[in-house]
Structure 1
């Protein structure tokens, strides 16, 4: 059995890795310099105390069986779950505070504020994705409520949002926490990503901090849903 200090160090490395990586299990373990066995043991310990949880991938691999073989592209490919913080505060703590803990305890805050200034937008954009998933549930009426939501990733792409309603309508979304308006080119890129990933959504949802171009605001496309900051105010009611 490893000494308690070593186990604490492994836990801190994993929590830091979850905070700054894309969350995929293999990338978290690599960033935390943990073996598969040590990494999974560390995750389960942190899950038991309520710090971390797993979000399973919704990717479906091609069926294999009698007479069916995986393509060369798919050989060796493994669907990856993501490891996420249970509460946003812990993600903030291990993104900004923990790396500078000793300096902060010594009353030195320069590096903490520098990190906050450089990475706050990235941190907030992740929270913006989570709020967008909450908002899409509010956008559909009770006759066809959203029954499944969250991020979506596969071997080709990652999507900020993929939701399905009770009647199996699919909504694919892109969330942009940026200082400029979203234009139509983003819709084209989103459609191309869907095509490559084999997705056929009923709606394309865009969530923007800074609003939308005039072309998008005046779009008559009934399958295009645009949400700006005023729409997020509904979550406070």
Structure 2
């Protein structure tokens, strides 16, 4: 296995360890506790578990994380910026009020120590002179949760006052899972082309355009995708917008993929075919089919 397990490997391990069967619920709890190897009782409300496992053990967990980050203020500021921002490196420097040279050194340290990994746009921008900032992913979902919702409020937590944390999490939690879904949808796309394997996948971005999924298969086919997480069904306009983005980025696409948690309008369903693929939550649930003991990752983190 690679030095850092993939998000899908972590997710399958989490689901096996905690007997998760409801996909949406599993993502919700994984976005907070993922990657740590902790046993999580998903019959309990998430907020209750956050207080029980994280807030009440703040000093111990903080101590473990500080050993990795060396309690460096720039490291912590950048991690908090990346946990809630657009994940772009240059944006994080601004949000963290970090001088670029210091920021780059900090990012290198955080990558070298396994906290972050780089995410590079999957194609060149139309403007050859445009400098596109890399994005950064946390290797463990828990670390993203920690630096978005726990670390910035350490003063109150130390005093046993969880008011700020709970208010902050109350605002963040509804969209917090979207990034996990983004990554899992990419895993599903990879599985959806068994006869022409996906050899490269990620996202595309420049200063004007963002494309959720951009992939290339072994034969050279280009796949572009969009994800929709709202309670409303995805309609044909989602496909139209995706096509417009690809035209704007001057990317020739062979297959368009639309993922929607809430299904699709009848109009969009009519577009379904070899060149347009529709993926739902039901399809995504296949990612945790046939869980077995071999899916459980060996984890040496302290258990809380």
Q: TM > 0.5 between the two?
A: yes
Deviation at 1:42, TM superposition (A): 0.9
Contact 2:122 2:201 in 1 (8 A): no
**Equivalent residue for 1:228?**
280
Change (3 A) 1:25 1:220: closer
Q: TM-score by structure 2 length?
A: 0.68
Tell me which residue corresponds to 2:147.
94
- Give per-residue Cα distances to partners, 1:181-215, cap 9 Å, x unaligned: 11111111111111000011111111111111122
- Alignment check: 8 A CA contact 1:125 1:176 kept: no
Q: Assess if the C-alpha contact under 8 Å between 1:149 and 1:161 holds in 2.
A: yes
CA distance in structure 2 between the partners assigned to 1:74 and 1:196 by the alignment: 14
**Structure 1 residue 14 displacement after superposition:** 0.6
Deviation readout 1:201-231 (Å, 9 max, x if unpaired): 1111111111111222343443111111100
Size of the aligned set, in residue pairs, is 221
Give deviations 1:98-132, integer Å, cap 9, x for gaps: 12222223222222222222111221111110011
Residue matched to 1:22: 86
> CA RMSD for the aligned pairs?
2.0
RCO higher in structure (CA 8 A, sep ≥6): 2
**Any idea what the Cα deviations from partners look like across 1:123-171, whole Å, max 9, x if unmatched?**
1111110011011011111x21111111111233111111111011111
1:121 to 174, 180, 186: 174
Please give the secondary structure, in 1, of the residue aligned with 2:202. coil
1:61 is displaced (CA, Å) by: 5.3
Give the aligned partner of residue 190 of structure 2. 137
Q: Structure 1 segments of 4 or more deviating over 6 A?
A: none
Question: Quick one: distance in 2 between partners of 1:138 and 1:236?
Answer: 13
Extract unaligned runs of 5+ from structure 2.
1-68, 290-304
The answer (yes or no) to whether the contact 1:59–1:154 under 8 Å persists in 2 is no
Preserved contact between residue 177 and residue 209 of structure 1 (Cα < 8 Å): yes
The 2-side partners of 1:84 and 1:233 are apart by 23
Matching residue within 79, 100, 118 for 2:132: 79
2:112 paired residue among 48, 53, 67: 48
Matches within 5 A, 1:1-237: 8-60=72-124, 75=129, 77-141=130-194, 143-237=195-289
Cα distance in structure 2, aligned partners of 1:222 and 1:233:
22
TM-score by length of 1: 0.86
- Output the CA distance in 2 between the equivalents of 1:198 and 1:139: 25
Cα distance in 1 for residues equivalent to 2:283 and 2:122: 28
8 Å contact from structure 1 (residues 103, 109) kept in 2? yes
Is the Cα contact below 8 Å between 2:116 and 2:137 reproduced in 1? Answer: yes
**Cα distance between partner residues in 1 of 2:154 and 2:116:** 21
The residue matched to 1:160 in structure 2 has which SS? strand
Q: Which one is further off, 148-157 or 214-223?
A: 214-223
